[in-house]
A and B are shown apart, each in its own frame.
Chain A
Amino acid sequence: MKTRLPDHGPVEAPRFWRTLEERVETPEARQAAHDEFLPGAVPAYDDVHGLPPQSGVSRRDFLGLVSAAAALAATVGCDRKGQGTVVPYTKRPVEVTPGVANYYASAFQEGRRVYPVLVKTREGRPIHLTGNDEHPGVRGKTSPRAMADVLRLYDPDRLRAPKAEGRTLGWTEAEARLHGALQAAKAAGKPVLLLSGAVVSPTRKALLADLKAALPTLEHLAYEPAAGDAAEEAARASYGQSVAIQPRLAKAKVILSLGADFLNGEDPETLAAWGAQRRLKSAKEPINRLWVLEGPLTLTGTNADHRYPVAPSRLAALAFTLARELAAKGLPLPAGANLSALPGGAPADVPTQAWASLVKDLQHAGRNAVVLCGAQMPAAAHQAAHLLNAMLGSEAVALSPAEPLATTRDLEAAVQGMAAGRYAAAIFWDVNPAFTYARAAAWKEAVAKVPLRTWIGLMEDETAAQCQLVLPENHWLESWGDYATPGATVLQQPTVGTLYDTRQGEDVLLGLLKALGSAPAADYHTYLRARWEKAVLQGGTFEQALHDGLVKVEAKTAALAFRGASVASAERAAKGAEGFELVLFPGFAPHDGRHANNSWLQETPDPISKMTWDNPVAVSVQDAQALGIQEGDFVTLTLEGTTLRLPAVIQPGQAKGVLALALGYGRTTGGVAKGVGANAYPLLGLDPATANVRPGARLAKAGGRKELSRTQSHHRMEGRDIVRSLTMDEFLHHPQGHHHQPELVTLYEEQKFPDHKWGMVIDLAACVGCSACVVACQSENNVPVVGPEQVAKGREMHWIRIDRYYEGELENPKVVHQPMLCQHCDSAPCENVCPVNATNHSPDGLNQMAYNRCVGTRYCANNCPYKVRRFNFLEYTAYKTEPETLAYNPEVTVRPRGVMEKCSFCVQRINDVKIRAKGEGRSILDGEVTTACMAGCPSDAIVFGDLKDPKSRIAQLVTATRAYKVLEEVGAKPAITYLADLKNPVEGGHHAN
């Protein structure tokens, strides 16, 4: 404390002094004596004593600052356990800007189908796929499985280094073994078996030719277990060669499907054409008509205008009868078609009147009609379809020559060869015959007789377990390649460097070539580029092709002459034994089994049965009744000595006497795939013509019951106005139907939206229910996977789901699909009940969720009439480590347990565009913001946009006559408008012309 000095100066010289200045009393010394403390050591003002200010900082302030500094220092030092550290790049990779996404064009192959894609990468990690918008066919769309395949890149089960007899080894050693064996085989002239997937790539084809030249004893088989042997068999019979059949629905007015599931999401081009034909503004616009004859209920069947359940073995006979009737009406019957053996009269499977309408419809549509046959249907049905298309002169289907695929007959020959010790070595590249081949035991025995078995693939599978040499392959997102598609040659380029010590299969083959004495190129990239520069690029640069992902080519129309079909084949198909007719089809999620380890796909509900994580056998309503089977009951399915015990589901609309079972389940390897469902491959037939349609199956109750991991357990609409479906007649005369919605009044002030009001329109007429949106959303929004037990409890986390309702008679119901997601209600019931304001409304009409604020009372979910809110009942994310975490979209928060989540209208995409537009000083353009579901929807059923912009597409769509809102009477004012579904049945003799 400072003592106040007397105001007057010293009266006499000081008695004691410290310095000479003080003694002589200079003014400075006097001042210094007055200022007891040095400047800064005393307060600026002494507010306690009211003293004059003397220095800059008070003691109080000083102490305050000290403690603040200490507190800050301590806070900075605080570290929560488990918190990661963020370290900037020490060496920033070229072309990677943190926070900015890069997009690469690439391509993905599944069987014969090629998906040109655009890959979004963040910080070097591929995280999201869409179709390549430059491609004339897919136009920016792709399939659910293609989108989900980005997850496979980060599958923890991926093999990370070569292995031999279970021991990890280097590539040099592994290659030495392979090369040695093959050099020896070449020297000895012993055959080498190479089993790979379908060859759609021209450069791969060239490479295989080079290899064949260097190793003349190479026997190559392209094996696609899901492609349908019957289709291959029939194509060879009808056209004398393998053919790829691509529907051109844009030109089709009448479509007849013989068990063809062309709307199942696999074919974005067809879905786009379908959507374009169904998104009607008025009833005067032309619409196509879809007739479906099928055994099991398919997604295509649910979208049919007329559908009749028919056993697949009957399809050929029906189609041939159709051909005869059309011939009778004057359509030319090609030479070589012999229909004389057919029984007379209209078939009993289809009501007479409907049959007559179908015949008339096809006849009137002529070349605008098309008959499509399901890949798994008997070969005779395919041939009948080929015949019908030839008779109609259909322009709505494009045939192109394709590389042949091995059928069961070829594989059986290979098995015999292996068993006889014919082969010196075998290479299995991206195939899993140990799992997919029907006679697995015989296969195992035969393959053991091959001296060197080499496997090249992504994840060790059943076949890898039978091989000595196991070589890890790149994921396609790490690889080079190219594909021939109608209209463009597509390039596949790596979008990320290899994550592990892997190589792409082509590079392994190139290494082999080198060892065998011919070395066309150092690596596959060089090989591919050289070939492209020589054969594909016409004037353009390779860089430009990589940028675009493709080089456009003229779509060649192949002159494929129809050689004729015989009714005898139909006879063979129809010759049924007693018991059920079993239809084996590739599963929606696993396809032929290759995607079985993909948890996104496993948890995406089957579009029809809404099953996840399982392949129950589907039983028709009539048969279930007769056998007393309830849903989820365990049954035994027996066919030719093979018995499976699996749960049953009752499938409305499935033909009586038909059982349907998905292939690709029941894998015995893979952290996700293992033990999911039952393996149906042993039930496949060995006759390629009828491999997937097997008569003589027996079904019996096995006792016990399984809790089905199904996302929808109630299938009727209970007469509620949820999905509106109009026939064309209704659309013309009363598009609003008989629904009268009284004007809703509210006591509250309407919410104001100053700048934007985001909204969505979903056209149910265009939506086929393919679930591409579900996968797109899962990938974009880091939606967690919960597993079969949790799905069975109703805890799946999808932000968008497809509701599927059956209406009418169970034997052949009308089916409707409805994508259901957060409706972003203006007067949202969820918002006012949240006690902590964790969910609230944004000024641009988004119902937003603040995860950090959410306590988890779940009241919002109870009060949501649409039940689209998802609660993290358990910890679904925290246990994840690399590489799984690499698949996350960094722009979307990963939600912990106890937190509610739901569709955000992809707010991160909205903000991205907003920021970009602001930076460029312009307003947001219509269509610039796309949600993941919209971008992923192949039939363009989803339109997102700003309702405040009167010129926007969405603003026009919401005024459509088909527009309505779901549960409008609740008064929540949803921001999503649905457009009523349209069906185009034959009414009052109104036929397509």
Chain B
Amino acid sequence: MADADRKPLLDRAAALLAGPFLLGRQALSLAFLSDRETPSEEPALALQRIPVTPPEHAIKRRG
């Protein structure tokens, strides 16, 4: 078939290179969780979040 029908070479090459690369990086980051291990303090931080609750008995004007 005509070459014109082919998808651009660069797009394919990029997908072929980027796909495994990104997948591999993801796999590695799953295998070595060092990067994600840090948030030992993060759950604590989440607990520290200030609760925002609606006011009791108040009547809003609009919204």
Contact = CB atoms under 8 A, between A and B. Distances in A.
Given A50-B1, A71-B15, A71-B18, A103 B60 contact: yes
B51 interface: yes
B4 to A, nearest CB: 11
B49 A882 contact: yes
A68 B23 CA distance: 10
B29 A68 contact: no
Given A47-B1, A73-B26, A105-B61, A499 B51 contact: yes
A386 B38 CA distance: 70
Interface in B1-29: 1, 5-7, 12, 15-16, 18-23, 25-26, 29
Contacts of A123: 52
Contact of B58 (A63, A75, A546): A546
A285 interface: no
B26 A102 contact: no
Name the prevailing secondary structure of the B interface residues.
mixed
A634 B31 CA distance: 64
B7 A104 contact: no
Nearest to B1: A47
Contact of A77 (B29, B54, B62): B29
Contact of B59 (A71, A94, A97, A546): A546
B43 interface: no
Interface string A42-76: 00010100100000000010011011111101110
B41 interface: no
Contacts of B57: 493-494, 525
B60 A66 contact: no
Contact of A74 (B22, B48, B62): B22
B33 interface: no
Contact of B20 (A67, A103, A104, A478): A67
The residue in B49, B56, B57 that gathers the most chain A C-beta atoms within 10 A of its C-beta is B57
A46 to B, nearest CB: 9
Contacts of B26: 73-74, 77-78
A203 interface: no
Q: Which of B16, B23, B60 has the most CB of A within 10 A?
A: B60
Interface residues of A, number: 51
A756 B48 CA distance: 46
A100 B63 CA distance: 6
Nearest to A101: B63
Given A525-B57, A886-B52, A74 B63 contact: no
Interface string B34-48: 001000000000001
Contact of B61 (A47, A93, A103): A103
A494 B56 contact: yes
| Most B Cβ at <10 Å: residue of A50, A73, A104, A499 | A104
A543 B61 CA distance: 10
Nearest to B54: A93
Contact of A496 (B15, B22, B52): B52
A496 B54 contact: yes
B52 A67 contact: no
Given A63-B16, A68-B15, A104-B60, A75 B22 contact: yes
Given A103-B60, A543-B59, A549-B61, A497 B22 contact: no
A70 B59 contact: no
Given A95-B60, A497-B53, A546-B58, A71 B19 contact: yes
A124 B60 contact: no
B49 to A, nearest CB: 6
B53 to A, nearest CB: 3
Contacts of B12: 60, 64
Nearest to A543: B59
The binding surface of chain A is classed by DSSP as mixed
B59 A494 contact: no
Nearest to B2: A47
Interface in A443-499: 478, 493-497, 499
B23 A94 contact: no
B58 A104 contact: yes
A811 to B, nearest CB: 50
Contacts of A94: 54
A523 to B, nearest CB: 10
Contacts of B52: 123-125, 496-497, 499, 886
A76 to B, nearest CB: 9
B19 A68 contact: yes
A192 B14 CA distance: 81
B6 to A, nearest CB: 7
B43 to A, nearest CB: 12
A633 B51 CA distance: 48
A123 B60 CA distance: 13
A184 interface: no
A161 B25 CA distance: 47
A97 B36 CA distance: 33
Most chain A beta-carbon neighbours within 10 Å: one of B16, B20, B26:
B26
A883 interface: yes
Contacts of A548: 61
Contacts of A121: 63
Find the residue from A50, A125, A496 having the highest chain B CB count within 10 A.
Answer: A496
A74 B23 CA distance: 5
A47 B7 CA distance: 12
A398 B23 CA distance: 76
A117 to B, nearest CB: 11
A497 B55 contact: yes
Contact of B55 (A69, A79, A493): A493
Contacts of A493: 55, 57-59
A66 B22 CA distance: 12
**Which of B12, B15, B63 has the most chain A CB atoms inside 10 A of its CB?**
B63
A23 interface: no
Contacts of B1: 45, 47, 50
Contacts of A573: none
Contacts of B62: 102-103
B56 to A, nearest CB: 7
Nearest to A493: B58
A629 B54 CA distance: 55
Contacts of A496: 52-55
Contacts of A101: 63
A883 B49 CA distance: 8
Contacts of A68: 15, 19
A96 interface: yes
Contacts of B18: 67, 71
Contacts of B7: 60, 64
A499 B20 contact: no
A343 B36 CA distance: 86
A605 to B, nearest CB: 31
A882 B5 contact: no
B59 to A, nearest CB: 4
A984 B8 CA distance: 76
B61 A67 contact: no
Contacts of A103: 60-63
B56 A497 contact: yes
A118 interface: yes
A78 B55 CA distance: 38
A897 interface: no
A547 interface: yes
Interface in A90-144: 93-97, 100-105, 118, 121, 123-125
Contacts of B36: 79
Given A69-B19, A104-B58, 11 more contacts: A47-B5, A60-B7, A64-B12, A74-B21, A75-B22, A78-B22, A93-B53, A103-B61, A103-B62, A496-B52, A499-B51
13 contacts: A47-B1, A60-B7, A67-B19, A70-B22, A74-B21, A74-B26, A95-B54, A101-B63, A104-B58, A124-B54, A497-B51, A882-B50, A886-B52
Interface of A: 45, 47, 50, 60, 63-64, 66-71, 73-75, 77-79, 93-97, 100-105, 118, 121, 123-125, 478, 493-497, 499-500, 525, 543, 546-549, 882-883, 886
**Sorted from nearest, which 3 A-B pairs have the closest CB atoms?**
A67-B19, A74-B22, A497-B53
